[in-house]
Amino acid sequence: MATPQREKFATQVDPQILQAVRDLARSEGRQLQALVDEALADLIEKRKRQRPRAHVMAAYQASHETFAPLYRKLAE
């Protein structure tokens, strides 16, 4: 089984957050890098779910163009 390719990067982290992540890694018996990978993957997935999909937004816009007067009446 091939080892995934890695790329180094440097950043700065709040010392309390870094210590909490190190403690968590130690308590779970995992490497710090594994938790960083997991956290970044979770962040990406979370942000993808927050962004409306293009086809949903297109349908919403088309709906507004067609039913704007109705929507205004309903809002009254």
- In terms of Cα–Cα distance, which of 24, 44, 40 is closest to 32? 24
What does the pLDDT read at residue 35?
A: 96
pLDDT mean by block of 10 residues, the chain; 76 residues: 83 96 97 95 88 83 88 86
pLDDT, position 29? 97
Q: What is the pLDDT of residue 24?
A: 96
Q: Which pLDDT belongs to residue 74?
A: 87
Alpha-carbon Rg for the chain in angstroms: 22
